[in-house]
Amino acid sequence: MPDKIKLVMPLEGVHCASCVMRIERVVAAIGGVESVSVHLPTRTAYITYDTALTGPDEIKAVIERLGYKVLEVSEQSGPRENLVILGLEREAKMYLSRFLGAAALSVFILSAGYFSLSPYTVWLAATVVWAWCAAHFHAGFLRASRALSPDMNTLVSMSATTAYAYSAALAAFPGLLPAGSVPLWADMALLVTFINFGRWLESRSKKSAGSAILRLMRMAPRFARIVENGKEKTVRAALLRPGQVFLVSPGEQFPADGEVLTGVSSADESLLTGESLPADKMPGSRVFGGTINKQGALACRATGTGENTALSKIIEAVRRSQIEKAPVEHMVDRISYYFVPAVFVVAVAAGLLWMKFGGADSFSRGISVFVAVLAVACPCAMGLAVPMAVAVGFDRAAGMGVLIRNSEALERAGGLGVVVLDKTGTLTMGDIAVEKVLPEGCSEDFLLRHALMAESASEHPFAEAVRKYCAARGIAAQRPDSAQAYPGLGIKASFGAAEILAGKPEWLAANGVKLPPETGAAHSRSVVAVAAGGAFLGRILLSDRLRPSAKAAVERLRGMGLEVALVSGDRKEAVASAAAQAGIREFYGEVLPEEKARLVAELQGKGRRAAMVGDGFNDAPALSRADIGIAFSSGTDVAVEAADMVLVRPSLDAVGDAIVLSRLIMRVIRQNLFWAFFYNIVLIPMAAGAFYPWTHILVPPSLAAAAMALSSVSVVLNSLRLRSMKL
């Protein structure tokens, strides 16, 4: 059993940054808890703990003692999206019913004078508003008080309770309070009405924030038709194992990732890539679980099942991205944590000053100002400003086939100056093929057999091209006794007493192999030179083709004010040819993996914030060194793990989309933060009466509550605009 366990806990009752900070602070103090992060929009806690020191029951008990409900305790994220949505739906129904109740009673209270209702009748109606329509705010206030961590519920409950208690005292003991005091029944009722209405709108809006994950989850295949002992049978997709053969008819989902064995068809892969055009499928083509077979019947061999499918990895990547908080989010959480106590101090000070200097009805004005300051302050808007925009933005990115793996990349995207592209598999299709075989003093088959011995142990795209070519010619692979790869240079293999070298001609020469003059046929092509026992056997020329979107993608990046550079370990002539075809003026050839990272560092040293786009293990150092690393999901696992963004859509257009969307997300975050802070900076002093000497305007508690509701809802709605913004 592992010592470290990761828990996923969907929660109920988490409303603002103060709630987040409270849970994170208390849970982090539990012995054995290594990390805790609460994601506000999805209201989910992610906790890593040491099993020797604590357990899930203790962690759950601590959270529930704080007054929050733990909906589930799991080591996997699987079902939690549905639980969160169900929780939001329950919450939305609760807010709606209490909003409608408070609205009806507010109308009743406001019409009391017209119908000459008894003050005790009004008191009874107001009691229902305070006790039932605002009950959830009072419960939150008690929860926050036990944890000594005030939050939004504290402000609402205290403002409503103060207005209610003051009005009740005035009704019960009219002579006790100063002359001219007036009840605040209507203000209290409208305060509860408006805030419930705002919370209802907010809950409804939050439900759509994670639509891409839910869409992906709902599209996950349920069943598979497999061939077993020559017979066809239907099983649950979860039971499918790598190596098994499954059948897919037109209109059916692929139950797992796999490789086509027989049949020709096309597949709708828009679920994963956002690309509307079907992708052609034929023997040897890759297929992905959850996508849909269009025309022909296919037989496929499963290569990735369960959590190892591309669909599952995308869902998990989006989930992981939500756990990480941007630096600005940590700052806002800290501000929000201290915000409520500061507001309370301002409210008390303003209320006392109005009671002393407010004139004939100073006592009523003081109470009204105290209630209005508490009601107008909105920590929720600040707490939601960053995570809501990130959740919606990452959600849209996932639907477009772009996985943004961390929030920090968003902040760096705005200052990018140069995009560095790898050549093979990035600028080009990566579908490298042997174009010509040039033996030297031996037959083609002899040259190919020795090349195959070495390349059978390599993962390089050139090696894959050699293997395919040899297989088509019926040349069987012989595994070497040992092999050692030299990244960016070649591979050295031993077979019996012979040492075989396959790689760059310059590398062979550096290892003592005498090379004849290069033929003109090798110009601007990629070359694999082969030697055995120190004797040169010949060259294998390879060709690749640009991605169809390459030239347009480069032009688009330039139009965004970015410079574009091409870097590759391939021959300078081949790199220059590819750069010319794509319209790239700055290019670097024969660059080793560590030199790619150094090149990126040099660009950064010139004050140019750099993005690196690659797909191979040779690109991993540069991807890590760049300000933003971008990798294609079809690339090596090392490259994908080193990247900040992963492109599922096999098109260079996705690079521009990723950068533009990142900038849009940051723009919305800045708008949200500006609105949240501007709102509180202006409205709190206004509610306190700071501008009264010039405007002669005091904000009544009811309007203060309406403004509070509008503030948090506006942040949510502004974030949701990311779903339809033009890229």
Q: Which range is least confidently modeled, 143-147, 208-212, 417-421, 451-455?
A: 208-212
Q: Looking at residues 666-683, what average pLDDT do you find?
A: 92
Instruction: Give the model's pLDDT for residue 379.
Output: 79
Under the banding of pLDDT at 50, 70 and 90, the label for residue 20 is confident
Instruction: Give the model's pLDDT for residue 636.
Output: 64
| Distance (Å) of CA 360 to CA 355, 357, 376 | 10, 9, 25
Instruction: Give the model's pLDDT for residue 354.
Output: 93
H helical segments located in 112-239? 119-128, 135-146, 152-172, 185-206, 211-218
Cα-flanking dihedrals φ and ψ of residue 588, to 5°?
Answer: -140, 125
Query: Quick one: what percent of the chain has pLDDT higher than 90?
Result: 32
Q: Looking at residues 687-699, what average pLDDT do you find?
A: 89
- pLDDT exceeds cutoff 60 at 331: yes
Q: Mind listing the pLDDT tens digit for each residue in 66-77?
A: 888 888 887 765
- pLDDT exceeds cutoff 50 at 328: yes
Query: What mean pLDDT value characterizes the chain?
Result: 85
Q: Looking at residues 24-52, what average pLDDT do you find?
A: 87
Instruction: Give the model's pLDDT for residue 1.
Output: 42
- pLDDT exceeds cutoff 50 at 596: yes
Instruction: Give the model's pLDDT for residue 521.
Output: 56
Instruction: Give the model's pLDDT for residue 104.
Output: 96
- pLDDT exceeds cutoff 80 at 300: yes
The residues assigned a catalytic role are 422
Q: Which of 396, 391, 386, 411 is nearest to 675 (CA)?
A: 386
Report residue 353 as tokens.
Answer: 């000053």
Which positions ≥6 away from 427 have C-beta within 8 Å? Answer: 421, 546, 547, 550, 566, 578, 582, 584, 652
Q: Looking at residues 673-690, what average pLDDT do you find?
A: 92
Q: Looking at residues 184-195, what average pLDDT do you find?
A: 91
pTM to 2 decimal places: 0.76
C-beta neighbour count of 399 within 10 angstroms: 20
Asked if 437 and 522 count as a contact pair (C-beta separation under 8 A), the reply is no
Under the banding of pLDDT at 50, 70 and 90, the label for residue 635 is low
More confident residue, 192 or 143: 192
Asked if 73 and 25 count as a contact pair (C-beta separation under 8 A), the reply is no
Say whether 370 sits in a helix, a strand or coil: helix
- pLDDT exceeds cutoff 80 at 208: no
Instruction: Give the model's pLDDT for residue 421.
Output: 93
- pLDDT exceeds cutoff 70 at 102: yes
Instruction: Give the model's pLDDT for residue 319.
Output: 65
DSSP label of 480 = -
Compute the half-sphere exposure of residue 332: CA atoms within 13 Å on the CB side of its CA: 27
- pLDDT exceeds cutoff 50 at 52: yes
Q: Mind listing the pLDDT tens digit for each residue in 431-467?
A: 788 888 999 989 999 999 999 988 887 877 888 889 8
Walk me through the domains of the chain, giving residue ranges and CATH numbers: 4-84 (3.30.70.100), 241-304 (2.70.150.10), 407-429+546-643 (3.40.50.1000), 433-543 (3.40.1110.10)
- pLDDT exceeds cutoff 70 at 559: yes
Instruction: Give the model's pLDDT for residue 207.
Output: 64
Which positions ≥6 away from 337 have C-beta within 8 Å? Answer: 17, 18, 21, 149
- 602 membership: H or E segment, kind and range: helix 593-605
Cα–Cα distance between 592 and 247 in angstroms, integer? 44
Report residue 140 as tokens.
Answer: 């939150």
Instruction: Give the model's pLDDT for residue 460.
Output: 78
C-beta neighbour count of 65 within 10 angstroms: 12
Which positions ≥6 away from 413 have C-beta within 8 Å? Answer: 611, 628, 659, 662, 663, 666
Query: Quick one: what percent of the chain has pLDDT higher than 70?
Result: 93
- pLDDT exceeds cutoff 90 at 538: yes
More confident residue, 394 or 225: 225
Please give the order of strands across the beta sheet that includes 33-39: 33-39, 44-50, 4-12, 69-70
H helical segments located in 247-326? 270-273, 310-323
If you average pLDDT over each of 267-276, 277-286, 348-357, which comes out highest? 348-357
Cα–Cα distance between 474 and 472 in angstroms, integer? 5
